[in-house]
A and B are shown apart, each in its own frame.
Chain A
Amino acid sequence: MSKTLDRMQAIFRDVLDDDGLILGPEMTAEDVETWDSLSHINLITGIEEEFGVKFTTAEVASLKCVQDLAVLVEKKLAPKP
């Protein structure tokens, strides 16, 4: 999980233009001033590119915090049985 968060943190820092941002699992858009609905999809596309995954609108709409996003990424990366 922490490795996923580290890679996500680099994307967040770049998209939100904040080099000092420390990504916590409980963090939400309300905690970061520049994280609004405009930058939200930029974060999503950044993470899609970084991890080589694709999200659906329903998945994005259901996210509540950073942890949800990390879990979703790991679920998509997990090898299919």
Chain B
Amino acid sequence: MNFTSFEFLAFLVVAVFLYRLCPLRWRPALLLVLSYTFYLTWMPKAALLLAGMSGLTFFAVRSSGTGGRIAPALILLLVGCLAAFKIALLFPAHGIAGLVMPLGISYYTFKLISYVLDVHWGKTSPEPSLIRFAAYVSFFPQIVAGPIQRPADFFSQLPSGRSSLWAAVPRIAWGFTKKLLIADNLAPTVSYVYAHTHSLQGLPLLMGFYLFPLQLYADFSGLTDIAIGVGRLFGINGPENFNRPFTASTITAYWRRYHMSLSSWIGDYVFTPLRMATRAAGNLGLAFSITVNMVAIGLWHGLTSGFLVFGLLHSFYINAEAFASRWRTRFFKSHPKWNVPGDLVGCFFTFHLAALSLVFFRCVHVSDAFWLLGHLTIGWANLSSFLVSVQSEISLRNLAIGLLGYVVLELGERFRPDLWVRSMSDSAPRWLRWSFYFATAVTLAFGLSLLVLHAGQARSQFIYEIF
């Protein structure tokens, strides 16, 4: 049951209806049943693993309590299980036949680890109810691709008597628009370039270089918008995952704006303990902790050489920034007129450094990435023959819709018209409020009609579903 399928929308309508009818004290149990129903439609066998891991973690933590000795063994087991699946996927010929990654394992394992460590560190107390705990781990809006919500944040909102339709529906519609109008229209060009890297030169490679970051952002942030919006239908406000990452003027700032729920998770549970352990080693300890932190973010996506290079590149960027940060702050403080141009140049470099790392992220083999980067500037003379040869493969119309949509995306997220309306909604006259409701309904209908238009074609998967 893909998020962009009619089955899912139908499931959602029934689920919200039932949830609103349900008395408060039964809501966690209903949420659990709904989440497992959703999960079973994807992978029935993997639901056993999800249930087993949730039960094991719940009872192990309850029996050992705060500061118990079981935490390290439990974390080793959880990480080991996640790593075993990621390793088995690398060797399909020698692995178990038909083995696929259990849906959401990278996300729910991280939820389980944060619960174990938060209780171990005394940040939160063990959850007394197995039903509430299992509902947290399997919460269906977040199971496909996050955002990774922290346990205390989730439990404080469950069960919720409040579920705001008007905070949820526009967000879901915005997510659908980003995925179907932008990401899916950019996808064919990106797929073509990355599938034929070695037979291409110049412009098409440059298009692959620039378009993939835009596609990835529209795709993944669209998926997160849907997840956050759907969560709100059940009164759960999930953490934000993106904050206009391509406006960041340093890579460090980029990671505070990109896949925030993962980067803050790794920051709290990998970087902070490592940095505490290595703080006596000064700068060497800092460099080591940053490197492990960024490589962990890379390898979380999969144990391939491409993700390793992605992580290493970011650890290099962030190390360089960390060691230059004092100098940088002082320079801009003593030269205030350089602040604005500095930010603009910073944005330009940050985008290109991120795009460079994403070439390794997207390529199947590291050698493809080197080919792409090494042939960006040559072959521009054969441009017309290239355009003729790809006419059947790449639709310029799709590409134009995708790019135009991307401009709307950036403008929409910069000016946030939804916030203007919400900020004046209480004091606004009724006709204005209802125009907003009407506009929202039209947006939703537009999103749904896009779904209908796409229904005949093979709909592309969300990129972050497979991690």
**Chain A residues with CB below 8 A from B335, complex form:** none
Interface residues of A in 17-66 (CB under 8 A from B): 17, 34, 36-38, 40-41, 44-45, 55-58, 60-62
| Residues B330 and A60 in contact, CB atoms below 8 Å apart | no
Tell me whether B326 and A60 are in contact (CB under 8 A).
Answer: no
Q: Report chain A residues within 8 Å CB of B252.
A: 36, 38
Quick one: which of A17, A34, A36, A57 contacts B121, CB cutoff 8 A?
A57
Report the separation of the CA atoms of residues A62 and B152 in the bound assembly, to the nearest whole angstrom.
12
| B contact face: mostly helix, strand, loop, or mixed | helix
Across-interface contacts of A58 in B (CB, < 8 A): 67, 120-122
Min CB distance A58 to B, Å, is 4
Q: Kindly state the interface size class of chain A when it binds its partner.
A: 10 to 19
Closest to A34 in B: B329
Q: Which of B67, B121, B264, B268 has the most CB of A within 10 A?
A: B121
Q: Which of B218-272 contact A (CB under 8 A)?
A: 252, 256, 264, 267-268, 271-272
Residues of B near A37 (CB, < 8 A) are: 264, 267-268, 271-272, 275
Taking CB as reference atom, which chain A residue is nearest B282?
A: A45
Report the minimum CB–CB distance from A35 to chain B (whole Å). 11
Q: Which residues of chain A are near B329, meaning CB under 8 Å? A: 17, 34
B326 near A61: Cβ-Cβ < 8 Å: no
Decide yes or no whether B365 CB sits under 8 A from chain A. Answer: no
| 8 Å CB contact of A17 from B67, B264, B277, B330 | B330
**Contacts A37-B267, A44-B279 given: A62-B322 contact, CB under 8 Å?**
no
* Chain B residues near A60 (CB-CB < 8 A): 272, 276
> Which residues of A have CB within 8 Å of B117?
61
Question: B267 touching A44 by the CB < 8 A rule?
Answer: no
How close is B406's CB to chain A, nearest CB, in angstroms?
28
Of residues 319 through 345 on chain B, the ones whose CB sits less than 8 Å from some CB of chain A are 322, 325-326, 329-330, 333
- Asked if B20 is an interface residue, CB under 8 A from chain A, the answer is no
B122 surroundings in chain A (CB, below 8 A): 58, 62
Give Cα A44–Cα B333 distance, bound, in whole angstroms.
Answer: 25
**B52 at interface by CB-CB < 8 Å:** no
Q: DSSP majority for the A interface?
A: helix
Interface membership of B44, Cβ < 8 A: no
Q: Within 8 Å CB of A56, what residues of B? A: 276
CA distance A17 to B325 in the complex (A): 10
For A45, list chain B residues within 8 Å (CB): 279
* Chain A residues whose CB sits within 8 angstroms of the CB of B279 once the complex forms: 41, 44-45
Instruction: Chain A residues near B256: list those with CB within 8 A.
Output: 36
A61 with B268, Cβ < 8 A, contacts A38-B252, A41-B279, A45-B279 known: yes
A37–B290 Cα distance when bound, in Å, is: 10
Distance in angstroms between the alpha carbons of A61 and B326 in the assembled complex: 25
Give CA–CA (A9, B325) in the complex, Å. Answer: 20
Q: Decide if B161 is an interface residue (CB 8 Å cutoff).
A: no
- The distance in angstroms between the C-alpha atoms of A55 and B322, with both chains bound, is 23
A17-B330, A61-B268 given; A38·B322 CB < 8 A? yes
CA distance A57 to B268 in the complex (A): 10
Residue of A nearest to B266 (CB): A37
Cross-interface CB contact of B276 among A34, A38, A44, A62, cutoff 8 Å: A44
A65 and B123 CA atoms in complex are apart in Å by: 13
Q: How distant is B1 from chain A, measured CB to nearest CB, in Å?
A: 36
B317 to chain A, nearest CB (A): 13
Inter-subunit contact B123/A41 (CB<8 Å): no
On whether the beta carbons of A62 and B267 are closer than 8 Å, the reply is: no
Assess whether A40 is in contact with B330, with CB atoms less than 8 Å apart.
no
Determine the residue in chain A with the shortest Cβ distance to B279.
A45
A14 vs B203: C-alpha distance when bound (angstroms): 48
Answer whether residue B412 sits at the interface, using C-beta atoms and an 8 A cutoff: no
A44-B279, A45-B279 known; A62+B121 contact, CB < 8 A: yes
Which residue of chain A has the shortest Cβ distance to B278 in the bound complex?
A: A41
Q: Which residues of chain A have C-beta atoms less than 8 A from B264's C-beta?
A: 37
* Shortest beta-carbon distance from B252 to chain A in Å: 7
B273, CB-defined interface residue at 8 Å: yes
Tell whether, in the assembled complex, residue B326 and residue A41 are in contact, meaning their CB atoms are under 8 Å apart.
no
Chain A residues with CB under 8 Å of B330's CB are 17
Residue on A with the closest CB to B124? A62
- Expressed in whole angstroms, the Cα–Cα distance for A40 and B272 within the complex equals 9
Q: Which residue of B lies closest to A61 (CB)?
A: B121
* A41–B121 touching, CB < 8 Å: no
Given contacts A37-B267, A37-B271, contact A57 B123 (CB under 8 A): no
CB pair A17 B326 closer than 8 Å? yes
Whether A57 lies near B276 (C-beta < 8 A) is: yes
Instruction: Give me 11 other A-B pairs in contact (C-beta within 8 A), A40-B272, A60-B276, A61-B273 excluded.
Output: A17-B326, A17-B329, A37-B271, A38-B322, A41-B275, A41-B276, A41-B279, A58-B67, A58-B120, A61-B268, A61-B272
